A and B are shown apart, each in its own frame.
Chain A
Amino acid sequence: MNHQEQLYNIFKQNGSDTELQWYQKMDALDLQEKKKGFVMAHRHIARVPLGEVSIHPHDSPYPVDLSKWTKDQLVRTLVLLSMDEGDQNDFVQVIEDLFQTADNREAQAIYAALPFFNYAPVWTQRATEAIRSNVGLIFDAMAFNNPYPARYFDDTAWNQLVLKTIFNDKSIWNILGLEDRRNQSLAVTISDFAHERWAAGRTLSAEVWFLTVPFPSTRYWQDTYQLLNSETSADRNAGYLLWKAHADSAPENFTETFQSLFDDFKTQTIEWGKLEGQDQS
């Protein structure tokens, strides 16, 4: 079953008769009318969340959670997929036209649909525009619940995505592929950014230290030391997890210094994603 069929089945389960009829009528029209249909979907399809269902676009290891989509967004995605008539250049042009005149929710729908498109890598540059956007809706559509960046972004673009998420105080756990795409350069930047915030008397989510786990440098241990001495429990929890990940290669006397703290930690369940008590999205 291709994506269009999969998504259409979900629409059938969620759509009313009138909604299904509108879509079928529109689906039979030519490309120009379908473009208008993409715009007009909000007038005919309810803007309500979909039920619990997820899909792996093009065998991505990361599923898109469709319960975070609305029904009119699903139908807009169907309209987009139906406009791919087999010619890559034509389809790219159609998508470009729609991007150029898109309002915020239309842009949201297109960005979220990119991983479902054929020739998906073509839109890598366009996808980074969403990450540059200051409109929350558009940024979120690309950065969160979307397997596209993990698959197609290079490290530079990927790291911008992660950093901007952190910079805007949004939860990194909304990013698909976060664990697999950790990299050395990002780890250094995270540390720099943390020090910048600390110097300004500001804070940042302790969860971000998860991104540094695979890279135990000298600096890693300095940051771990500082976190373990922090006044906030979330920071100390993060410090504990950093120590735990590389306890065997900890610097001399490091473990001994915090032994009593670690003994106390061992009696608790401390894990990434739950450092601050709850996921803050």
Chain B
Amino acid sequence: MCTSNHSHQNPSHFQEANEGQVQPDLDFDYKKEIEGWHFFDPHIHMTSRTTDDYQALADAGVVGIIEPAFWLGQPRTGLSTFRDYYNSLIGWERFRSSQFGIRHYCTMGLNSREANNEKLAEQVMEILPLYIYKEGVVGVGEIGFDDQTALEEKYYRAQLELAREANLPVQVHTPHRDKKQGTERSMAIALEHGIDPSMVIIDHNNEETVKSVLDQGFWAAFTIYPFTKMGNQRMVDIVKTYGAERIMVDSAADWGISDPLAVPKTAALMLSQGIPREQVRAVTFENAVNAFATSGQIEVDQLKSLMEVDQSAKFEGNTVLRGGQQPRIDKDSVIIE
């Protein structure tokens, strides 16, 4: 629709097609839009983020996150580095997160890229069972296909079996290339292993994959990640089309150009464009919590009660380092005390 501000402009060729759509006001203050809201990001790689990001997440209302085990941008050279990485997900990273009042959970798995190193993959598969039963491990993930090689399939299947034995949800990474077929194949194999689709979260969906994922009863996660995955305006349209059932939003923020605030920002955009509040809440908090709570490792009540988050609360009965939450620093001050 033309607004009075734009009446002096010539009509765009596409104006008719845009009619009825709300144009996003790019200057609006998204933080105001989501004031008092709380969010859960079910896919974010915090080991590659700074404390500034943790602070920003906490400020934006993110109260819980899931960190899927992935690769580190380059292939690891041995078992020890795998073990140390897994240890960081259940150790240091969990502690770091707790300092900002954020619940940190993780999924454990052998990622698809490194599944292609068979010798190392075998060793990783041997220690994996020790990790999937740990506290706060809410699933096996992120696993699935990258290049869709035979070895990727072998270890995807092996890990589906692990998840089935442990009765844990599966977080599936779908490939960047040949995504549509890769996604179909991932789902078909999970069903072949007798896994209930309600225990599987298919991640990195887009407009082309979402229908089939939902139709088959799987959870559909959308990664809001600049340039390569979903943009959040597209996400708004997805929810307008498909509703909120079994849909969730994540950031997958990692060591690449990505945005850890993707979930709160997307919530703000949805609210500003008239998506009903309960739908926004479902796709930015509840669905993800419910999907992974089948692991028995999410304290759902506690998480939901974090609505009234007490900044001085201690986590894990933990006397947090230096006796309290990380003290805030004034980023704009030149004086460092």
A101 to B316, CA, bound (A): 19
Asked if A169 is an interface residue, CB under 8 A from chain B, the answer is yes
Q: Mark B59-102, 1 if CB is under 8 A from A, else 0.
A: 00000000000000000000000010011001110110000000
CB proximity of B97 to chain A, nearest CB, Å = 12
Kindly specify which of B127-135, B144-152, B169-177 makes contact with the partner chain.
B127-135
Contact of B129 among A36, A105, A134 (CB under 8 A): A36
Say whether A204 faces chain B, with CB atoms less than 8 Å apart.
no
Select the stretch in B43-51, B191-199, B282-290, B319-327 that faces chain A. Answer: B319-327
B181 interface residue per 8 A CB criterion? no
- Residue A61 interfacial (CB < 8 Å): no
Given A100-B83, A101-B87, A104-B95, check contact A134 B133 (CB 8 Å). Answer: no
Set B83, B130, B131, B135: member contacting A105, Cβ < 8 A: B135
With the chains together, A98 CA to B133 CA distance in Å?
13
CB <8 Å contact, B135 and A170:
no
B86, B94, B129, B323: which contacts A170 (Cβ < 8 A)? B323
Q: Which of A16-24, A39-47, A245-253, A259-267 forms contacts with chain B?
A: A39-47
Min C-beta distance of A71 to chain B, whole Å: 13
- The reply to whether A168 and B90 contact each other, CB–CB distance below 8 Å, is no
The complex places the Cα of A135 from the Cα of B317 at a distance, in Å, of 12
Give per-residue flags for A124-156: 1 if the beta carbon is below 8 A from chain B beta carbons, else 0: 000000000011110010000000000000000
Cα distance A208–B86 in the bound complex, in angstroms: 38
Interface size class of A (residues with CB under 8 A): 20 to 34
Q: Which chain A residues in 50-108 approach chain B with CB under 8 Å?
A: 70, 100-107
Produce 1/0 per residue, B111-143, CB < 8 A to A.
000000000000000010111011110000000
Does A34 interact with chain B (Cβ within 8 Å)? no
Closest residue to A68 on the B side, CB-wise?
Answer: B317
Q: How far is the CB of B128 from chain A (nearest CB, A)?
A: 10
Q: Is A281 an interface residue (CB 8 A)?
A: yes
A39: contacting residue among B130, B296, B319, B323, CB under 8 A: B130
If the complex has contacts A168-B323, A170-B319, A170-B323, are A135 and B130 also in contact, measured as CB distance less than 8 A?
no
Which residue in A35, A107, A136, A281 is a CB contact (below 8 Å) of B321? Answer: A136
By size class, the interface of chain B is 20 to 34
- Taking CB atoms, residues of chain B closer than 8 Å to A42 are 134-135
- By beta carbon, the residue of chain B nearest A107 is B91
Query: Is B95 a contact partner of A168 (Cβ separation < 8 A)?
Result: no
Checking A36, A102, A137, A169 against B95 with a beta-carbon cut-off of 8 angstroms, the contacting residue is: A137
Q: Is the pair B323, A43 in contact by a Cβ cutoff of 8 Å?
A: no
Query: How far does the alpha carbon of A39 sit from the alpha carbon of B134 in the complex, in Å?
Result: 6
Contacts of B316 in A (CB 8 A): 104-105, 137
Q: Which of B129, B134, B136 has the most chain A CB within a 10 Å cutoff?
A: B134
Min CB distance B235 to A, Å, is 34
Which residues from B are CB-within-8-Å of A281?
319
Contact B94 A104 (CB under 8 A): yes
Q: Are A169 and B127 in contact (CB under 8 A)?
A: no
Give the distance to chain B from A187, nearest Cβ to Cβ, in Å: 24
Residues from chain A with a CB closer than 8 A to the CB of B87 are 100-103
A34 to B276: give the CA distance in the assembly, Å: 50
Q: In the complex the two chains form, is A103's CB within 8 Å of B323's CB?
A: no
- Residue on B with the closest CB to A103? B90
Indicate whether A168 sits within 8 Å of B94 (C-beta atoms), given known contacts A101-B130, A103-B136: no
- Contact (Cβ within 8 A) A36 B322: no
Given A103-B90, A136-B318, A137-B316, A43 contacting B296 (CB threshold 8 A):
yes
Name the contact of A103 in the complex, choosing from B83, B94, B318, B320 (C-beta under 8 A). B94
B46 CB → nearest A CB, Å = 15
What 0/1 readout, one digit per residue, does chain A (102-126) give for beta carbons within 8 Å of chain B? 1111110000000000000000000
| CB contact under 8 A between A140 and B133, given known A100-B83, A104-B94 | no
Residue of B nearest to A137 (CB): B318
Within 8 A of B (CB), among A150-183: 168-170
- A70–B322 CA distance with the chains assembled, in angstroms: 23
Min Cβ gap A74→B in Å is 14
- Nearest-neighbour CB distance to chain B for A25, whole angstroms, equals 16
Q: Contact: A136 with B319, CB < 8 Å?
A: yes
Residues on A with C-beta less than 8 A from B321 are 134-136, 168
Closest 10 CB pairs of A and B: A103-B90, A135-B95, A42-B135, A169-B323, A136-B319, A40-B133, A101-B130, A136-B321, A39-B133, A137-B318
A-B contacts, 26 listed (Cβ < 8 Å): A36-B129, A36-B130, A36-B133, A42-B134, A70-B317, A100-B83, A100-B87, A101-B86, A101-B87, A101-B127, A101-B131, A102-B91, A103-B87, A103-B90, A103-B94, A104-B91, A104-B95, A134-B92, A134-B321, A137-B95, A137-B316, A137-B317, A137-B318, A140-B319, A168-B322, A170-B323
Q: A35-B130, A104-B316 are in contact. List 8 more A-B contacts (CB 8 A).
A: A36-B133, A43-B296, A102-B91, A103-B87, A134-B92, A134-B95, A135-B92, A136-B321
